[in-house]
Chains A and B, each alone.
Chain A
Amino acid sequence: METSGKINDNFQDLTKPIKTVEDKWKLLPAFLKVKGLVKQHIDSFNYFINVDIKKIMRANEKITTDADPVWYLKYLNIYVGSPDVEESFNITKPISPHECRLRDMTYSAPITVDIEYTRGKQRVVRHNLPIGRMPIMLRSSNCVLTGKSPAELAALNECPIDPGGYFVANGTEKVILIQEQLSKNRIIVEADKKGTIGCSVTSSTAERKSRTNIVTKGNKFCLKHNALSEDVPVVVVFKAMGIECEQEIVQLVGCEDDVISTFAPSLEECHKLHIYSQLQALQYLGSKVRQRATWGKSRTKVEEARELLAGVMLAHVPVIKYDFKPKCVFLALMVRRVILACSDEANVDDRDYYGNKRLELAGQLLSLLFEDLFKRFNNELKKIADQTIPKPRAAQFDIVKHMRQDQITNGLVHAISSGNWIIKRFNMHRAGVTQVLSRLSFISALGMMTRVNSQFEKTRKVSGPRSLQPSQWGMLCPSDTPEGEACGLVKNLALMTHITTDQDEEPIVRLAYNLGVENLRLLSGEEISHPSVYVVFLNGNILGVSGNYKRLVEAFRLMRRAGYVNEFVSICPNHQHRFVNIASDGGRVCRPYIIVKNGKPKVQDRHIQELVQGFRSFEDFLHEGLVEYLDVNEENDCSVALYEKEITRETTHLEIEPFTLLGVCAGLIPYPHHNQSPRNTYQCAMGKQAMGSIGYNQRNRIDTLLYFLCYPQVPLVRTKTIDLIQFDKLPAGQNATVAVMSYSGYDIEDALILNKASLDRGFGRCLVYRKQNCLLKRYANQTFDRVMGPSRDASTGEVIWRHRALDADGICAPGERIENKQVLVNKSMPIVSPTGLQPGTPGQPPQPEYKDVPVSYKGPRDIYVERVLVTSNADEAFLIKILERQTRRPEIGDKFSSRHGQKGVCGLIVNQEDMPFSDLGICPDIIMNPHGFPSRMTVGKLIELMAGKAGVLHGHFGYGTAFGGDKVEDVCNALVEKGFNYVGKEFVTSGITGEPLTAYIYFGPVYYQKLKHMVLDKMHARAKGPRAVLTRQPTEGRSRDGGLRLGEMERDCLIAYGSSMLLLERLMISSDAFEVDVPLLLIISQYFNPEDTLRLQTSFPRTYVHEHCSTTVTQALHG
């Protein structure tokens, strides 16, 4: 009894009151659940439509024209409304995402602006002018689903568990994948292929992106920039920025002996160039500036050089009124970092370090795109104003009449639906930014929302960016990455990862100065590079220096915990380079930790109890300074204890729960810490292919392809992650009783033996839904597609076989069984004839001729019509969607997998009476070959079986949470208690002979997933069939009923074997052999005219014309 009690404690529901100290942080992940699993996407989008879009508007608020100095247009405000659809002119109604999905529309909201402009002499203010439509992310602040109860969501045909975070563009669900990038505006020192050290900064501001490099050339340092045609010595750049005195330059770079000696040749070079003054330097630089097509006033070389230094080079460092001081300090620091790195390898930065990465989310990407479109929109208006104002006209020029909505709308929708992100002002062209949300299972959709795509090219053979970086701990899932070319480049967020959005810098700057940071402008060079001070950076910009960095950091953190600074602002010292980095930029990954003070975690039982009782929310923990977010950089300055028992005096933070270091997909695996690591990776990939339920609204959806499992079950062995992501509500798999033994020879190579009776009772049975689309178009010449009723046989009057499923309206009836080649919609379209419409009988309008273009079913097995949707799309065209259903029971060759990367196909289906049975008369559903275990080392599966068995016997779920879960010993004792063997092996009798088997069999329930790969979709064979028009060779691929290629290697086999006739037949006769009829004339002519023969042979390549043929040539063999 004691053991069962112990286990019961482990199975305790998360919502039960907390008794032990140990339980106290287990509720925090449950609290993150309240924030949603795709919070990062939604937060980022919310920030964009509520804050960032206004900033963009303010940055581009005024349009003026050269034609009229009085005319202007000024944006006063910009809003994104809530999603609606235009029913008829100027009448809109709110729309739900599901309606958009069904009607192939875009879920978008109008973007409206308040403007002030001049019309003639008047100043006019207009409110709520639409300028375009913004696709709205589901569950974002402007989405109709936000804040709705499950019942209200159900009324909107929406699943309450669906996380949102995606868009509906033209009826398809699109996710903007998280993009990983190297962080902007930070100095990165690295060695190139040849081992020379360089330093680079990618500056990014709203207007400009530029990359500035410091490179070593011999022993000199040069500045390299795209806008410069050639590398220029840095000292010249310093001089051009107004630091003419070399002493000052050296002081800025550093006064240590070795630094001076390394830097000396660079100074010398400047002398050799005879550049002493700022003007000389600017002239020198001006001659190197790459010429660009310039509009407007032409500038001198010196001016150009100065503009370059002020605005392009290191663009993120602000230059106010040509005060180059901050930029000089920054540049000097870059040089210094290179010099230091030359002498000490440790000073070279690691670009794979996750603190140097920023994740770009939907909001950031959309804001880049929107700003581009908004600028283009404004340019267009300006162009119109430029052109129209000078012209004399009757009506006053009113710019509002020229504001067209479609440019912004189409730009946004097109980018989202195609995934091509083109941003003109940055010369950015990225493909594959968005992907169609995979709705194979709930997990695959969730997995997609947490996916992180790296910008790194897949072809480069460097292991660095692909390997697991220690700094990714807790932020990215160590298991969930695809195999093959994208391995390590596509990553997944861990369960508790949060991605920051941009924060206002102004208050942070003020706070930093108040905390004793000395302003840069007040200091001389040596004071900045002095070893006793730490340089303080804010988002890559130098703020100043601090003499007492410890106090600064501590005070800053104190302020943050007290809520005076945003919780996502991070601060951390870097002792190597003597920096203090304050970061408030967006795209940093961070996760919450419990704060530990004086060896005691700040979160106490009391707090957790209040949390359980609902008096406290996760936000309260943050506001009271019990919990805080740490980003990767700040984590480096902390000592985090994994468990409470590991807390020492130095510990600053405590991990909330270790299993949160895994992501959503890896979180499904029971006992992953007992598995060989690649197995977990395989399961992460396979979990996304498992069939199951995809959402509560799955029966209302009409998707191109949907798979449902008929009777999905909650896994007997659960994990805490499963509870958190509500996988138990939308499971993808079934608990199968597995016997680990050999049976017949049909179980080799991971094949599984299935029990026929289990299949009869519904194991692995699935529904496959497919959509057929039919759009009835109207054409420009007033003709349109039509749907006709079923055709009848002329003699019998019966409906012809192909039309048997059709209703009188020409559309198939729901519930009808459809065979191969039968018609679903009897559509016909007008023939485009050169004469236009055919003249009909006089007095009647001419009737167009029609051609049948039926929508028909093609497939090996019959289907049923589940439902038919007749609606109209956004262009008011008729849209008919037909949902076809097929019920499939498992057959030989269907793929199954457990949750441990152990996939296998069904090798044999055995009658129940032939299956072995245990003493209790239990027959296994699946027999698995034991050879699957030794090399795979999936011990987690063995434990899952035991825990599942114990759970079944005791009537509760087992828990196999990573780094925790039910202990094997407890599970074993629970088995013994119910009279089962301690190690889970059973006395089994053969169903065939009735005699006992000589071995005890490992026997119990394991959660099995049915994967989407089924034989029915793959089976393919062909004898004769279609050929390609061009080559007359058999077509390729199953979908085109293609032939099976006898490839090079197969050919080699046949050559080696020596079967020449078979070769001849395969390669010649069964391939593109072809008979031609050739007119006699031609053959005669070849005797006299060799050119004709040549022509004949070129027009029929590889065709021989035989002389002896009399009237026609029918021989057409090759070489």
Chain B
Amino acid sequence: MASIEDIRTRVTLQEHGIINTHTTDFPGNYEGFDDTWSQEKFEEKFRIDIIHMDKLQMEFDMVGVDAAIANALRRILLAEVLAHRLGLIPIFADPREFDFRSEVTTELMKWVPIGNQARKYDLQDIRPVECNILIAKLRPGQEIDLKMDAVKGIGKDHAKFSPVEITIIKPCEDKLADKLVECFSDGVIKVTEDENGVRKAVVANPRRDTCSREVFRHEDLKDRVKMSRIRDHFIFSVESTGALHPDVLVCEAIKVLIGKCRHFLSELDSHCIDT
């Protein structure tokens, strides 16, 4: 049997299923553990490590929060952060026109400002995110003359407003035995030699594991390995479609989340008065 510590903090991957998937850290659930939520404890445990960030992609770890909170952030990123899209082409902003060519790409889209937009933005500022997205192929004699209106929206209305392409939550760690390297993705397991010359496999980089569970196919290794994930460790990988930097997106998402919480609290308050 797994120890209570394991049950509390780990999601265990077995050969045919996953156990301890549910959050259990509510007060009084386990003898000897005080799981009441407190600001200090949270502040002490909570951290965000940014692993990687560029214009389009960002990967960060969020440690010390409940799955529900992390999921809320993911859902907001997917559905509720504002973004501009034209058709399914992610763009920077407003209406534009086409010329004709054998291959119509987004490069040919030109922004026509309306109202005071011309004063606010440069012509170059507002454009499709990528200039080489193929829209249509034309045969001789065909042409496209088209005006488009860019509309602001969120992913909830229509998927093309979703600013994020992939969002992932992935807490991971592995416990191991010998000669496992093959069973895992490159770099997950490292073989070390101790002073006695005994070869020993050590988890080097659990982040790189793809969870193929290949070990469980080997009878000899099966029982010597334990795969589990840390319950409150989430790896987010945010890929922006280009309009905004991913970090801005995350900040936006957090703002939305804060806004929602505020709204909820105020609702609670107002209803308290009623009763």
Interface residues of A (CB under 8 A from B): 756-762, 911-913, 917, 919-921, 975-976, 979-982, 986-987, 989, 991-1000
Contact = CB atoms under 8 A, between A and B. Distances in A.
| Chain A to chain B: the 7 pairs with minimum beta-carbon distance, closest first | A994-B71, A979-B210, A760-B159, A757-B159, A921-B166, A994-B67, A913-B75
Interface stretch (B10-18, B25-33, B99-107, B189-197): B10-18
Contacts of A999: 17-18
Contact of A982 (B16, B166, B217): B217
B74 A1000 contact: no
A289 to B, nearest CB: 73
B21 A997 contact: yes
B22 interface: yes
A912 B78 contact: yes
B240 interface: no
B159 A989 contact: no
B211 A981 contact: yes
Contacts of B162: 757, 912
A994 B68 contact: yes
A981 B212 contact: yes
Nearest to B13: A987
Given A760-B159, A912-B79, A976 B16 contact: no
Interface stretch (B115-123, B129-137, B167-175, B257-265): B167-175
Nearest to B78: A913
Contacts of A975: 212
Contacts of B50: none
A912 B160 CA distance: 12
B151 interface: no
A761 B72 CA distance: 24
B155 interface: yes
B212 A1000 contact: no
Given A913-B78, A994-B70, A999-B18, A982 B212 contact: yes
Interface of A is mostly: loop
B144 interface: no
14 contacts: A912-B155, A913-B74, A913-B155, A980-B210, A981-B212, A981-B213, A982-B214, A993-B67, A993-B71, A994-B70, A996-B11, A996-B21, A997-B21, A999-B17
Given A912-B162, A982-B217, A994 B169 contact: yes
Contacts of B16: 1000
Contacts of A991: 71, 75
B158 interface: yes
A760 B17 contact: no
B237 interface: yes
A982 to B, nearest CB: 6
Nearest to B19: A998
Contacts of B167: 921
A889 to B, nearest CB: 11
Contacts of B237: 921
A1 to B, nearest CB: 14
A911 B79 contact: yes
B9 interface: no
B168 A919 contact: yes
A995 B67 contact: yes
A1000 B159 contact: no
B179 to A, nearest CB: 16
A315 B68 CA distance: 89
Interface of B: 11, 13, 16-19, 21-23, 67-68, 70-72, 74-75, 78-79, 88, 155-156, 158-160, 162, 166-170, 185, 210-214, 217, 229, 237
A919 B74 contact: no
Contacts of B22: 995
Given A912-B78, A920-B168, A998 B21 contact: yes
B86 to A, nearest CB: 14
A919 B79 contact: no
A911 B88 CA distance: 17
Contacts of A976: 212, 214
Nearest to B156: A911
A982 B72 CA distance: 32
Contact of B18 (A758, A912, A996): A996
A762 B88 CA distance: 10
Tell which of A756, A760, A995 has the most Cβ of chain B within 10 Å.
Answer: A995
A854 B87 CA distance: 37
A649 B71 CA distance: 70
A998 B16 CA distance: 9
Contacts of B170: 919
A280 B48 CA distance: 117
A987 B211 contact: yes
Contacts of B67: 993-995
B17 A979 contact: no
A849 to B, nearest CB: 47
A999 B18 CA distance: 6
B71 A760 contact: no
Contacts of A762: 88
B18 A987 contact: yes
B21 A980 contact: no
Contacts of A760: 158-160
Given A982-B212, A998-B19, A998-B21, A989 B169 contact: yes
A920 B166 contact: yes
Contacts of B71: 991-994
Given A761-B88, A982-B214, A997 B79 contact: no
A1001 B103 CA distance: 41
A280 B79 CA distance: 102
Given A911-B79, A994-B70, A996-B18, A919 B210 contact: yes
A997 B160 CA distance: 28
Contacts of A982: 212-214, 217
A736 B141 CA distance: 35
A49 to B, nearest CB: 36
B4 to A, nearest CB: 19
B145 to A, nearest CB: 14
Contacts of B229: 996
Nearest to A761: B159
Nearest to A760: B159
A762 B87 CA distance: 11
Contacts of A911: 79, 156
B170 to A, nearest CB: 6
A758 B160 CA distance: 10
A756 B79 CA distance: 12
A913 B79 contact: yes
B18 A998 contact: yes
Contacts of A980: 210, 212
Nearest to A992: B71
Contacts of B75: 913, 991
A1111 to B, nearest CB: 64
B146 to A, nearest CB: 14
Contacts of A979: 185, 210, 212
A920 B13 CA distance: 17
Contacts of B212: 975-976, 979-982
Given A981-B214, A994-B70, 11 more contacts: A760-B158, A761-B160, A913-B78, A917-B168, A920-B166, A992-B71, A993-B71, A994-B71, A994-B74, A996-B21, A996-B229
Nearest to B157: A760
Nearest to B73: A994
Contacts of A998: 17-19, 21
Contacts of B70: 994
A982 B68 CA distance: 30
Nearest to A923: B78
A919 B211 contact: yes
B195 to A, nearest CB: 34
Contacts of B160: 760-761
B22 to A, nearest CB: 6
A279 B23 CA distance: 109
B159 A912 contact: yes
A985 to B, nearest CB: 8
A913 to B, nearest CB: 4
A913 B229 CA distance: 22
B81 to A, nearest CB: 12
